[in-house]
């Protein structure tokens, strides 16, 4: 079942020439969590607002639960779309307590039971009489989520849900929000500029740049098999290299030498390509054939981010990023050698 | 199967394009052009047309009386214009400008010196002085004038004591003194706020290059204060330009009093001619204010704010205390004591009889009506400006404020014309007085309403809509409850301002409809002080109530 279908959506804000979003087509399955991931200004929030009905698209259609709600001369206002929205600043009604916030707009017979049920779901039992200003950031977010879920919406939209939380809270709320949405059986669309949020919480990620979708896929697909250089650099750290497909059909020849690559079936041997070599796929080992000098080493706890300068035969040099296991000792100026693990290498498009 | 679905959808879309959208586009190019222009005006975020229409109507309502006065003055006839230009206008212009300039200049001296002593120096009780010296601002100047007439007038105390009045209170100097005593807080408060915001780093730099306090004041503080002084001075000037009570009570003659007397003798057309130069003067000062505001944006305090150090007065302390104390004595203590004195007499003589409470009730009735109207009408204007920012909503908000800076006599003149001509059945009812209050004080509700709505994120509206409430319901369920404190605060100010208002009340009240302000005027004019004092004192007491609210603005 498709919960949301976007078809060739385009939105141009008055006074601008470039569309804020262009040619957006996306299908979101019922019960899944999808993240729109991209840098600020890429149009991801615009898409969310188009789905909710706070903006009108110039072209294209939005369908919810199989019914067109915008486009084709049809316009369903936001209050009739059955969409739950969680705003970046939560937008809780300051003059209403938690109970009334969650119950706002819920008209069913079972009002009280439903409110208590959702409060239970988000873990806020006992706080019904508190006012928003008496709650912590994480609690406010739970109220916002409970309020959005109370009416059993077709879809819940979350705009940068974690950006207002500090780091500890953030990691915890990622898990919590995922659990709550899954337990409620809801379909959710998130907007985020943080790849960690997106990778942790999503069933699928749509990466956006300059108003267009660059790639849609599972977190693993996005991370491991980026389709173009934008996706490769925006999600995670990577090294982009030029090369050509090797004669053996399972490698790419680059300035660094032969790099193993498993998915060359779509290409002819000798074809010019760009490849992305993830920082994780550079493994430090004595036998490695890529040798260079450490320019910078930054210990992050989980790994050591190393910048390596590799001198090329023609007198030129190349900067590489690698993640080294935190147990290793790496200092600036050290000579190190790497080999490439094929699983995190991908041919990428030009973009 | 999917492929088929897709084609079906595409065919469907073409169908729609052909039969639904294209006829609409062809039907009237005019309507489509207007629609597009309307959309562009609001930047794609167009409000409910009824809301825009309602707000525009309210804006026009506020501007029409004044515009109508200008319009009528253009048809006053060449003969009348030349007569007034030859005989009246030059002298009035000179009188008006001289009292305005003199009051403003002396206000600057008084306001800056007091602000410096109170906000920067170790004056004893400086925190108390900060709000005590603001009290004169809420005392209606005509009440002050009445008090000084009781004191220094031909039948005043001082004459009784000395046999002859030492000074003539009915003079330029007398008017200047009274205006100064009750208008100086504008400069004082604005400069005080600027001094409070001043970062100590500037002064530290001055000290580090070896400047003394006096040199530092002129080279560092004064230039910094210049904008604040300018803003305070313009506000003072606007107030003096529109002042009526003090001028008329003390028998001086400026445009406001001339217009008033012209209307009293039923020559409304000449009154419009006299209004014309006064409106022009007011607009000139408003333009100056606009310019000074624009400049103020360049001055921003940095993040690392540190309060300036308190300056030690040392041996100057007694003199400074004497200076601040005298101003307080002359602007608050003395006038209030006089009023209390005469009130005691009045009370003993039974001044608080049923007719007194009748006047109070009239005051409350008409001020309350104006307050209710202002809160109700502010809502659409505030909502439009905050939620649908555009050129049009900014213009509506601006023209809604047109009655604020303009003298009450001119507002009253416009209202007389309009009601006489178009709504005669309301003429000679106290509704006219309420409308005048509304036009004059509407911006106060507007300002407070705007301030509180701007604190409420538009996301709140959207949250309510996504929860199933159409925009009109959102207004009642969310916006109005959240806006209530702001509207009430603005409304409180409108109520108090209306209670104090004099010129429009005098001109528009139906025969026999006396308010407290009117009684103060009538009894003081006839030197029945023991009857004027209780009403004046009551007005002052009510006026002091929202002082805290007013101070939060500075």
Q: Walk me through the domains of chain A, giving residue ranges and CATH numbers.
A: 2-224 (3.40.50.300), 229-348 (2.40.50.140)
CA of A133 vs chain B CAs: smallest distance (Å): 14
Q: Catalogue all structural domains in chain B, each as residue range(s) with its CATH number.
A: 50-78+100-298+307-551 (1.10.3720.10)
Distance of CA B383 to the CA centre of its chain: 21
Q: Is B478 on the interface with A (CB under 8 A)?
A: yes
Q: Would you give per-residue pLDDT tens digits along chain B (554 residues)?
A: 333 333 333 333 333 333 333 334 444 577 777 877 777 777 767 777 888 899 999 998 888 888 888 888 888 788 888 888 888 888 889 999 999 999 999 999 999 999 989 988 888 888 888 888 988 988 899 999 999 888 887 777 777 777 776 778 888 998 999 999 999 998 998 888 888 877 777 777 777 887 887 788 788 778 878 888 888 898 899 889 989 989 988 889 999 999 999 888 888 888 888 888 888 888 888 888 778 776 655 454 555 666 777 778 778 888 999 999 999 999 999 999 999 988 898 888 877 888 889 999 999 999 999 999 999 999 989 988 888 888 888 888 888 887 777 889 999 999 998 888 888 888 888 999 999 999 999 988 888 888 888 888 888 989 999 898 888 888 888 888 888 888 888 898 899 999 999 999 999 999 889 999 999 999 888 888 888 899 999 999 888 887 777 676 66
Does the beta-carbon distance from B457 to A91 stay under 8 Å? yes
Under 8 Å between Cβ of B185 and B108:
no
Comparing CB atoms, the residue among A13, A81, A104 nearest residue B44 is: A13
Q: Is B258 on the interface with A (CB under 8 A)?
A: no
Q: Is B16 on the interface with A (CB under 8 A)?
A: yes
Chain A contact set for B466 (CB, 8 A): 52-53, 78-79, 81, 83-85, 148
Does the beta-carbon distance from B467 to A81 stay under 8 Å? no
Q: How many helices (H) and strands (E) does chain A have?
A: 8, 21
Strands A21-29 and A33-37 turn out to be unpaired
Nearest-CA residue of chain A relative to B21?
A73
B306 φ, ψ (degrees, to nearest 5): -130, 135
Q: Is B481 on the interface with A (CB under 8 A)?
A: yes
Which site among B20, B466, B468 would you substitute to test the A interface, given the most A Cβ atoms closer than 10 Å to its Cβ?
B466
Q: Is A301 on the interface with B (CB under 8 A)?
A: no
Does the beta-carbon distance from A87 to B459 stay under 8 Å? yes
Q: What was the pLDDT predicted at B11?
A: 37
Which site among A2, A9, A14 would you substitute to test the B interface, given the most B Cβ atoms closer than 10 Å to its Cβ?
A14
Residue A342's region, left for phi above 0, alpha for psi from -120 to 50, else beta, is alpha
Comparing CB atoms, the residue among A56, A72, A105 nearest residue B467 is: A105
Please give the span between the terminal C-alpha atoms of chain B, in angstroms, as a whole number. Answer: 70
A348 - beta bridge partners?
A: A274
For residues B392-415, one letter each, b for 16 or more C-beta atoms within 10 angstroms of the residue's C-beta and e for the rest, the string is bbeebbebbbbbbbbbbbbbbbbb
Q: What was the pLDDT predicted at B493?
A: 87
Does the beta-carbon distance from B40 to A78 stay under 8 Å? no
Q: Is B468 on the interface with A (CB under 8 A)?
A: yes
Q: What was the pLDDT predicted at B15?
A: 36
Nearest-CA residue of chain B relative to A101?
B464
C-alpha distances in angstroms, A310 versus A208, A256, A313, B54, B112? 32, 8, 10, 71, 69
CA of B259 vs chain A CAs: smallest distance (Å): 49
Residue A209's region, left for phi above 0, alpha for psi from -120 to 50, else beta, is beta
Q: What was the pLDDT predicted at A260?
A: 81
Instruction: Give the three-class secondary structure for A307.
Output: strand
Q: What was the pLDDT predicted at B26?
A: 45
What is the percent of chain A where pLDDT is above 70? 99
Cα gap B36→A59, rounded to integer Å:
16
Nearest-CA residue of chain B relative to A153?
B467
pLDDT tens, A225-280? Answer: 888 889 988 888 888 888 888 777 778 888 878 888 777 667 777 788 888 888 88
Q: Is the pLDDT of residue A143 over 90?
A: yes
What secondary structure does DSSP assign to B89-144, as a single string? HHHHHHHHHHHHHHHHHHHHHHHHHHHHHHHHB--TTHHHHHHHTTHHHHS-HHHH
Of the candidates B435, B408, B407, which has an alpha carbon nearest to the alpha carbon of residue B422? B435
Cα gap B497→B138, rounded to integer Å:
9
For residues A275-284, one letter each, b for 16 or more C-beta atoms within 10 angstroms of the residue's C-beta and e for the rest, the string is bbbbbbbbeb
Largest CA distance in chain B: 112
Q: What was the pLDDT predicted at B99?
A: 94
pLDDT tens, A155-198? Answer: 999 998 888 788 888 888 888 889 888 888 889 999 999 888 88
Contacts of A168 (CB under 8 A, 6+ apart): none
Q: What was the pLDDT predicted at B28?
A: 57
Q: What was the pLDDT predicted at A188?
A: 93
Nearest-CA residue of chain B relative to A144?
B463
Q: What was the pLDDT predicted at B340?
A: 92
ipTM: 0.80
Chain A contact set for B481 (CB, 8 A): 95
For the beta carbon of residue B233, count every other beta carbon within 10 angstroms.
24
Does the beta-carbon distance from A151 to B16 stay under 8 Å? no
> Which residue shows structure tokens 């079936």?
A265
Does the beta-carbon distance from A72 to B16 stay under 8 Å? yes
Which site among B467, B470, B488 would you substitute to test the A interface, given the most A Cβ atoms closer than 10 Å to its Cβ?
B467
Residue A56's region, left for phi above 0, alpha for psi from -120 to 50, else beta, is beta
Q: What was the pLDDT predicted at B44?
A: 67
Q: Is B57 on the interface with A (CB under 8 A)?
A: no
Nearest-CA residue of chain A relative to B479?
A93
Q: Is B360 on the interface with A (CB under 8 A)?
A: no
Comparing CB atoms, the residue among A52, A56, A106 nearest residue B466 is: A52
Cα gap A26→A35, rounded to integer Å:
12
pLDDT tens, A84-134? Answer: 999 988 889 988 999 999 998 888 888 899 999 889 888 888 898 999 999
> Which residue shows structure tokens 């000098």?
A293
Cα gap A202→B455, rounded to integer Å:
34
Q: What was the pLDDT predicted at A256?
A: 79
Q: What was the pLDDT predicted at B7?
A: 36
Q: Is the pLDDT of residue A137 over 90?
A: no
DSSP state at residue A349: B
Chain A with chain B: Cβ pairs closer than 8 A: 76
């Amino acid at each position: 079942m498709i919960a949301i279908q976007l078809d060739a959506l385009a939105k141009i804000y008055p006074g601008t020439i470039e569309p804020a979003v262009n040619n957006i087509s996306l299908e979101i399955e019922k019960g899944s969590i999808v993240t729109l991931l991209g840098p600020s200004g890429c149009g991801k929030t615009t898409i969310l607002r188009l789905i909710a009905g706070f903006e009108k698209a110039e072209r294209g259609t939005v369908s919810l639960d199989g019914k067109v709600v915008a486009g084709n001369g049809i316009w369903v206002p936001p209050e009739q779309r059955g969409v739950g929205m969680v705003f970046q600043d939560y937008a809780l009604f300051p003059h209403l307590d938690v109970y009334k916030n969650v119950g706002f707009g819920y008209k069913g017979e079972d009002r009280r039971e439903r409110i208590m049920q959702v409060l239970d779901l988000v873990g806020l039992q006992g706080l019904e009489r508190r006012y928003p200003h008496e709650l912590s950031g994480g609690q406010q977010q739970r109220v916002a989520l409970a309020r959005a879920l109370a009416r059993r919406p077709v879809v819940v939209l979350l705009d940068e849900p974690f950006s207002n939380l500090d780091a500890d809270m953030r990691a915890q709320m990622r898990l919590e929000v995922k659990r709550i949405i899954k337990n409620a059986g809801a379909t959710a669309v998130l907007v985020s500029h943080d790849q960690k949020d997106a990778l942790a919480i999503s069933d699928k990620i749509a990466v956006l740049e300059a108003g267009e979708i660059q790639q849609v896929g599972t977190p693993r697909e996005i991370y491991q098999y980026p389709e173009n250089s934008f996706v490769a650099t925006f999600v995670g750290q990577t090294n982009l290299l030029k090369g050509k497909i090797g004669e053996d059909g399972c490698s790419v020849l680059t300035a660094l030498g032969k790099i193993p690559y498993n998915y060359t079936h779509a290409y002819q041997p000798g074809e010019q390509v760009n490849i992305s070599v993830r920082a994780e796929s550079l493994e430090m080992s004595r036998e490695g054939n890529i040798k260079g000098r450490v320019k910078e080493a930054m210990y992050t706890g989980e790994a050591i981010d190393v910048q390596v300068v590799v001198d090329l035969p023609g007198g030129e040099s190349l900067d590489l990023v690698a993640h080294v296991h935190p147990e290793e000792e790496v200092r600036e100026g050290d000579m190190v050698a790497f080999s490439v693990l094929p699983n995190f290498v991908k041919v990428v498009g030009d973009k | 199967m999917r492929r088929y679905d897709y084609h079906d959808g595409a065919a469907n879309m073409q169908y729609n394009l052909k039969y639904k959208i294209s006829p609409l586009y062809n039907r009237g190019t005019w309507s489509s052009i207007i629609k597009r222009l309307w959309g562009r005006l609001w930047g794609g975020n167009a409000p409910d047309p009824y809301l825009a229409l309602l707000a525009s109507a309210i804006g026009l309502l506020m501007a029409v009386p004044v515009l109508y006065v200008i319009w009528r003055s253009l048809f006053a006839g060449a003969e009348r214009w030349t007569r007034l230009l030859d005989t009246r206008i030059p002298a009035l212009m000179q009188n008006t400008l001289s009292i305005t300039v003199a009051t403003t200049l002396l206000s600057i001296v008084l306001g800056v010196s007091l602000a410096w002593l109170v906000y920067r120096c170790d004056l004893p009780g400086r925190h108390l002085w900060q709000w005590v010296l603001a009290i004169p601002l809420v005392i209606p100047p005509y009440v002050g004038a009445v008090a000084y007439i009781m004191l220094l007038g031909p039948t005043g105390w001082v004459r009784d004591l000395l046999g002859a009045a030492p000074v003539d209170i009915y003079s330029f100097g007398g008017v200047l003194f009274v205006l100064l005593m009750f208008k100086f807080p504008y400069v004082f408060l604005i400069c005080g706020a600027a001094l409070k915001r001043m970062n100590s780093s500037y002064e530290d730099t001055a000290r580090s290059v070896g400047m003394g306090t006096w040199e530092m004041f002129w080279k560092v503080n004064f230039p910094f204060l210049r904008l604040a002084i300018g803003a305070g001075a313009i506000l003072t000037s606007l107030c003096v330009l529109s002042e009526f009570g003090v001028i008329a009570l003390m028998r001086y003659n400026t445009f406001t009093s001339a217009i008033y007397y012209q209307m009293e003798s039923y020559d409304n057309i000449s009154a419009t001619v006299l209004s014309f130069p006064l409106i022009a003067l007011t607009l000139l000062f408003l333009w100056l204010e606009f310019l000074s505001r624009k400049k103020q944006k360049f001055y921003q305090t940095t993040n690392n704010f540190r309060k300036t150090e308190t300056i030690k007065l040392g041996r100057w302390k007694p003199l400074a205390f004497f200076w601040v104390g005298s101003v307080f004595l002359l602007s608050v203590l003395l006038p209030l004591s006089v009023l209390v004195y005469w009130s005691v007499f009045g009370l003993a003589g039974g001044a608080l009889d049923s007719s007194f409470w009748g006047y109070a009730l009239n005051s409350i009735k008409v001020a309350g009506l104006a307050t209710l109207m202002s809160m109700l009408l502010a809502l659409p204007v505030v909502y439009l400006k905050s939620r649908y920012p555009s050129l049009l909503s900014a213009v509506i908000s601006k023209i809604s404020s047109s009655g604020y800076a303009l003298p009450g006599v001119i507002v009253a003149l416009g209202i007389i014309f309009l009601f006489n001509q178009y709504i005669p059945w309301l003429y000679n009812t106290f509704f006219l007085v309420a409308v005048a209050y509304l036009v004059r004080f509407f911006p106060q509700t507007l300002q407070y309403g705007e301030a509180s709505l701007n604190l409420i994120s538009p996301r709140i509206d959207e949250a309510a809509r996504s929860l199933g409430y159409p925009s009109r319901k959102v207004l009642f369920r969310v916006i109005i409850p959240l806006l209530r404190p702001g509207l009430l605060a603005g409304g409180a100010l409108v109520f108090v301002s209306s209670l104090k208002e004099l010129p429009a009340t005098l001109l528009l009240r139906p025969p026999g409809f006396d308010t407290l302000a009117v009684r103060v005027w009538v009894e003081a004019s006839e030197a029945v002080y023991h009857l004027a004092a209780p009403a004046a004192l009551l007005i002052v007491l009510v006026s002091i109530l929202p002082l805290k609210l007013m101070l939060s603005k500075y």
